[in-house]
Amino acid sequence: MDPQSEDQKEICDNRENPGKWVALGIAVGTAIGVSMDQLSMGVGLGAAFGLIIYAIRSRR
């Protein structure tokens, strides 16, 4: 296969899978929440971070 088509496939895979970005955001948010003794707020922020990351990545 052409290396360029492999790059395109990877980009498409990232666009079609928001779950991994939300999971990453929740993990980061949970770590932030635990450090602030506010776990529920951290999970909420993490989900928001994940959706923001997904939205930014899907525009490219």
pLDDT at 3: 56
CB atoms < 10 A from the CB of 16, how many?
A: 9
CA dist 40 and 48 (Å) reads: 13
Spell out the per-residue pLDDT of the chain, length 60, in tens: 555 555 555 555 555 677 888 888 888 888 888 888 888 888 888 888 888 888 888 876
Q: How many Cα neighbours within 13 Å face the side chain of 43?
A: 2
Model confidence, pTM = 0.59
Give the whole-angstrom CA distance, residue 58 versus residue 22: 13
